[in-house]
Structure 1
Amino acid sequence: MGTVEPATRLRADAQRNRDLIISAAKTVFASRGPDVPMEEIAKESGVGVGTLYRRFPDRDALIRAVAADNLGQILDKVRAAMAEEPTGWDALARIMRLSTDLRLSVALTASSERSLEIIRGDEKITELRRTLMGALDEVVTLAQREKTVRQDVGGGDVAVLCSLLLQKVRSLSEEGLEFATERCVAIMLDGLRASASNPLPGRPLTKNDVKH
């Protein structure tokens, strides 16, 4: 029987530890923000503090890695919606319901000026955001060609609507919170329909209006 090469096993272990750390950091950052002590993230991930710092030498590196991983997963889901849904409208509706997946990205950028600076200064993250905004533009344009989405909106409008869905409404009851997001998505989608009669003020928001 063959054995796994030590170098291959080490690479696999390193990747496993990295995945565990990022997964734990996502959970902690989403609930408590990015300023949680690194030791707590190590504990949550089940790896030693030394292992965490070998993979991510400081908090900035971990924030960048978590943001890039999160945006990459969202982009994959957006592309899947575009490839799998039969119409541009169906893809748009599916993407709007991905808003909860954006919660971590918003939490990271809204929680502190420092985390926003870290994320905006990273070229990989900037490119992921550009690509994601380009995909939203494509979906909106496709649905407009199908005459299912009103002509006076752009991908930037959809991005802003998704961000609004993530705002915490503390006055809602626990029961109301369970279906509030779904209701808001339905209301927003109705407003995006080509049949919507009231004109919108200003001009369509595009990817150039959304800061990367």
Structure 2
Amino acid sequence: MTDGIRMRADARRNRDQLIAAARTLFAEIGPDVPMEEIARRAGCGIGTLYRRFPDRASLIRAVGLDNLQRILVAARAAAAEETDPWQALRRVVRLSLDLRLSMRLSVSADEAPESFHRDPAAAAARREILDLLDELVGAAQRQGSLRTDVGAGDVLGMVIMTIRPLPGFDEDHRDLLTERCLGLVLDALGTGGGEALPGRPLGLADVFPFAAG
């Protein structure tokens, strides 16, 4: 391995370690955790951190994008590995637990940049996740496993309301309650009965205008 290749490999490893440390600390403490603590957890010097990420906003962008891409990879795997679209949809819905970090970064950090929402890579990842969700909803309905009076917008809206962090909630029971609520949402989405819903099924563009683009 040449010196140049080794240096690039070291730089990539440092960047990955910093993102992993920041992701963990953002989830544990919040996006205002001291940058020095992130560097310490990553096993890097503070100078290395600032060479890779010149400010907190750039680190938040990197962690948010990394989180979206991880969810996308797992969602692709669920769609490819499951022959039953309803089971694939259930797996994708449960991946929404990982969305909590992105939501926390977007709503609670002073430095959470609006540019993250317009970032082309982040937008492409969100678009593919939404398209995959839409396809699975349609396939599960055609199969007869998912009730027909809901749309992908209903599914995503219910999931986001379920995983949205509640201020002052007991942290020790938050994850368990969220998982239990997601289980109830999935049961309600099945074709096992229940009251008819008011109005028409909501599509992604009805609930999230950016999904129309």
TM bin, normalised by shorter chain, reads 0.7 to 0.9
Q: What is the TM-score with the length of structure 1 in the denominator?
A: 0.88
Q: 1:142 aligns with which of 126, 139, 155?
A: 139
CA drift of 1:45 comes to 1.1
- 1:167 aligned partner: 164
CA drift of 1:172 comes to 5.5
Counterparts in 2 of 1:189 and 1:114: CA distance versus 1, 3 Å: same
> What is the percentage of aligned positions where both structures have the same residue?
47
2: distance between equivalents of 1:50 and 1:71?
27
Of stretches 58-67 and 112-121 in structure 1, the one that deviates more from structure 2 is 112-121
8 Å Cα contact 2:103/2:164 also seen in 1? no
Give the counterpart letter for 2:43 in structure 1.
Answer: G
Q: Is the counterpart of residue 193 in structure 1 residue 190 in structure 2? A: yes
CA RMSD of aligned residues (A): 2.1
2: distance between equivalents of 1:156 and 1:6?
51
2: distance between equivalents of 1:28 and 1:172?
19
8 Å Cα contact 1:106/1:163 also seen in 2? no
8 Å Cα contact 2:146/2:189 also seen in 1? yes
- 1:51 aligned partner: 48
- 2:208 aligned partner: 210
Q: 2:13 aligns with which of 16, 19, 29?
A: 16
Give the counterpart letter for 1:157 in structure 2.
Answer: D
Q: What is the TM-score with the length of structure 2 in the denominator?
A: 0.87
Instruction: Give the 4+ runs in structure 1 shifted more than 3 A.
Output: 167-174, 176-179
Give the counterpart letter for 1:66 in structure 2.
Answer: V
Q: SS at 1:47's partner residue?
A: coil
Q: Is the counterpart of residue 37 in structure 1 residue 34 in structure 2? A: yes
2: distance between equivalents of 1:189 and 1:120?
28
Q: Is the counterpart of residue 111 in structure 1 residue 108 in structure 2? A: yes
CA drift of 1:168 comes to 4.0
Count residues in correspondence: 208
User: Structure 2: which 5+ runs fail to align?
Assistant: none
Give the counterpart letter for 2:134 in structure 1.
Answer: D
8 Å Cα contact 2:147/2:190 also seen in 1? yes
User: Structure 1: which 5+ runs fail to align?
Assistant: none
- 1:127 aligned partner: 124
Q: Is the counterpart of residue 76 in structure 1 residue 73 in structure 2? A: yes
Q: Is the counterpart of residue 66 in structure 1 residue 63 in structure 2? A: yes
8 Å Cα contact 2:61/2:113 also seen in 1? no
CA drift of 1:62 comes to 1.1
8 Å Cα contact 2:141/2:148 also seen in 1? yes
8 Å Cα contact 2:188/2:194 also seen in 1? no
Q: How big is each residue's C-alpha offset from its partner over 1:48-90, in whole Å with a ceiling of 9 and x where there is no partner?
A: 1111111112222111111111000101111111111121110
